[in-house]
Amino acid sequence: MDFISNHAVLVVSLIKIAVLLFVVMTALAYLTWFERKVVARIQSRWGPYYVGAHGLLQPLADGLKFLFKEDLTPPSSDRFVYILAPFLALSLALTTLALIPFGPPSIQVLGQPVFVIANSNIGLLFLFAITSIGVYGVALAGWSSNSKYPLLGGLRSSAQMISYEVSLTLSVVGVLLLAGSFSFNGIIERQAGNIGHWNVWPQIVGFLCYITAAIAETNRVPFDLPEAETELVAGFHTEYSSFKFAMFFMAEYANMITVSCLATILFFGGWLSPLPDSWTWQLYLPGAGLIALGLYCAYDTVKEMRGIARLQLSVVTLMALVAGAICLMPPVMHVIQGPFWFVAKVGLFIFFYVWIRGTLPRFRYDQLMSFGWKLLLPVSLANLVVTALVILLVKR
Amino acid sequence: MSFPVILFFICAAMAVLGAILLIVAREPIHSALSLILVMVSLAILYLLLGAEFIAAVQIIVYAGAIMVLFVFVIMLLNAGVEERTSWSKMAKYAGMPLAIFLLLEIAHWVWRASVGAKVANGAGAAQAAFSTHDLAMALFQQYLFPFEATSILILIAILGALVLAKRSE
């Protein structure tokens, strides 16, 4: 016990890292399921269906497949860099999550805040620092494969990420001016109140610039030029197979989660509730939502499922009902509020991402570049100047 | 030994290793990667000194922007493996003693200033002096003129590069 109280920072941090990694890895796996389901619905298909009820075991099957596939290394590749690239991509993508506060700092264990791993005064700057070196994963993968299409894909993505990083950073400065702080908690606490106090309203232009640049930064449709399959086979990861390919895949989804978290924190009040504090019934929302999900699953189990799928879905039903009951217990209820709203908002952003993917066609490369430099950059600069002017005038 | 001291020696070793690899590596991309390693370890050293802002900016500007352009250009030009030349007589007989002398001199001054001790117990003390707010105040009030002069200097350099690049076309 002495050891634990003496090294509280170390012990609590390690536990938090383990839990966060577990949660994020599971979320990454089910994000692929979610994306395939939603895109399928947009395109009038069923999506994954046969592995488990509603294809719920598909991520597991995919993971096993990636593990057991033959791991090919092109003979002419630069071996060290070739292996380094996927590790770099995934580890940097996961590192950024350490800075994200998933709940209020007031909830503590052993004097350490529970919902954030690294609570820094300049969290936002560190996040940008880590994402700014994230481009190496893609660029080095393209170079080290020593093959035409990966090289072109790597070059494209480096150019694209450099171009859009400028607008991404500039679009956020408006929020920083409003908050007067680089720390995530400072930025969130400034938006306290209800939905009307969020930064989206004064910074709507900044938000639109941010979300556009963020989609480009994460190489997603309609900005997925680095892996435009009609031109470049699979872009920078053409020569990667087996689990190294899966690592790039996971890095892309982890980046999606990071930029969604960032959008939530900067513009949508982070872990704050959108409802006014006086509406106390909102405390029951997380539990009620889970129980509603459980009841729907129960209905589905009885009505639609046959055979083994029935068993699988009843497990999901049970899990949802038990989790819902736990969330309704008074001490848990208060702790769970922050993470509930945070995850709900991030979920909406992820859905938005998938929705965009199901809706928009891909840009042409010259369109991408001229859009980034000639429209997005001037608009985010203008937003910055106007915000600064307004703040100056109001303060006078 | 306390945790910061251990971290200091790990990062210092990484920085030196990166610097040596930078010179020894024959593939330009490997040299660039080693340089990134040096910059990232330097950033961690800044963090140990309590200079959070400088550390973040070091990574954003050097590792994240400048080195990306280096790597980009190396990839674009598809630069081949370096060719080695035999050492010149000058380097052998004058360079080596001078290099050793320089190393000894640096070691002497580092020893006298005991930088390691400062890193070990300076994290708390340096925090107050290096907060982002103080840095901004110093930069935009006390040193505003040098700051603006430097930006104009950099702008001139960029314009010069553009003019030179255009002329050769």
User: Tens digits of per-residue pLDDT, A150-194?
Assistant: 888 888 888 888 888 888 888 888 888 888 888 888 888 888 877
| Chain A from 71 to 110: CB within 8 A of any B CB | 78, 81
**Dihedral angle over CA of B33, B39, B42, B44, nearest 10:** -80
- Contact list in B for residue A121 (CB cut-off 8 A) is 52, 131-132
Q: What is the pLDDT of residues B86-95, one digit of tens each?
A: 767 777 788 8
| Angle, CA B74 vertex, CA A87 and CA A149 arms, to 5° | 65
Top-confidence residue, A76 or B37: B37
Question: Which of B75, B81, B131 to probe the A interface (max A CBs under 10 A)?
Answer: B75
Residue B102: pLDDT over 90: yes
Q: What is the pLDDT of residues A292-321, one digit of tens each?
A: 888 888 888 888 777 787 888 888 888 888
Q: What is the pLDDT of residues B55-83, one digit of tens each?
A: 888 888 888 888 888 888 888 887 677 77
Q: What is the pLDDT of residues A229-284, one digit of tens each?
A: 666 777 777 778 778 888 888 888 899 999 999 999 988 888 888 888 778 788 88
SS (H, E, C) B92-147: HHHHHHHHHHHHHHHHHHHHHHCHHHHHHHHHHHHHHHCCHHHHHHHHHHHCHHHH
Residue from the list B52, B69, B75 with its beta carbon closest to the beta carbon of A143: B75
Backbone angles phi, psi at A219, to 5 degrees: 55, 45
CB contact under 8 A, B71 and A126: no
Average pLDDT, chain A: 84
Q: For residue A80, what is the nearest residue in chain B, using CA coordinates?
A: B30
Residue type, B116: G
Top-confidence residue, A288 or B132: A288
Look at the block and give the residue holding tokens 């001490």. A331
pLDDT score, position B115: 60
What average pLDDT does the segment A24-35 reach? 89
Find out whether A312 and A57 touch, Cβ atoms under 8 Å: yes
What average pLDDT does the segment A380-389 reach? 91
pLDDT band at B149 (very low <50, low <70, confident <90, very high): very high
Residue type, A144: S
pLDDT score, position A210: 92
String of b and e for A218-255 (b: at least 16 CB within 10 Å)? bbbbbbbbbbbeeebbbbbbbbbbebbbbbbbbbbbbb
pLDDT score, position A226: 67
Residue from the list A122, A142, A151 with its beta carbon closest to the beta carbon of B52: A122
pLDDT score, position B158: 92
Residue percentage of chain B with pLDDT more than 70: 87
Question: Residue B168 has what DSSP assignment?
Answer: T
- Percentages helix, strand, coil for chain A, rounded to the nearest 5? 75, 0, 25
Residue A125 CA to residue A115 CA, distance in Å, equals 19
Residue B1: pLDDT over 70: no
Q: For residue B30, what is the nearest residue in chain A, using CA coordinates?
A: A81
Q: What is the pLDDT of residues A367-384, one digit of tens each?
A: 888 888 899 999 999 999
Residue from the list A132, A143, A182 with its beta carbon closest to the beta carbon of B60: A132
Residue type, A72: L
Find out whether B41 and B18 touch, Cβ atoms under 8 Å: yes
| Chain B from 19 to 78: CB within 8 A of any A CB | 27, 29-30, 33, 36, 40, 43, 52-53, 55-57, 59-60, 63-65, 68-69, 71-72, 75-76
Nearest CA of chain A to the CA of B8: how many Å? 18
pLDDT score, position B128: 47
Q: Say what the ipTM of the complex is.
A: 0.79
- Contact list in A for residue B59 (CB cut-off 8 A) is 129-130, 132-133
What average pLDDT does the segment B106-125 reach? 67
pLDDT score, position A202: 84
Report DSSP letters for A165-178, one per residue: HHHHHHHHHHHHHH
Residue from the list B52, B59, B132 with its beta carbon closest to the beta carbon of A132: B59
Partners of A108 in beta bridges: A113
Residue A4: pLDDT over 90: no
pLDDT score, position B117: 61
pLDDT band at B168 (very low <50, low <70, confident <90, very high): low
What average pLDDT does the segment A349-360 reach? 89
Residue A300 CA to residue A152 CA, distance in Å, equals 48
Length of chain A in residues, anyone? 396
CB contact under 8 A, A135 and B68: yes
**Inter-chain contacts counted by CB atoms under 8 A, chains A and B:** 75
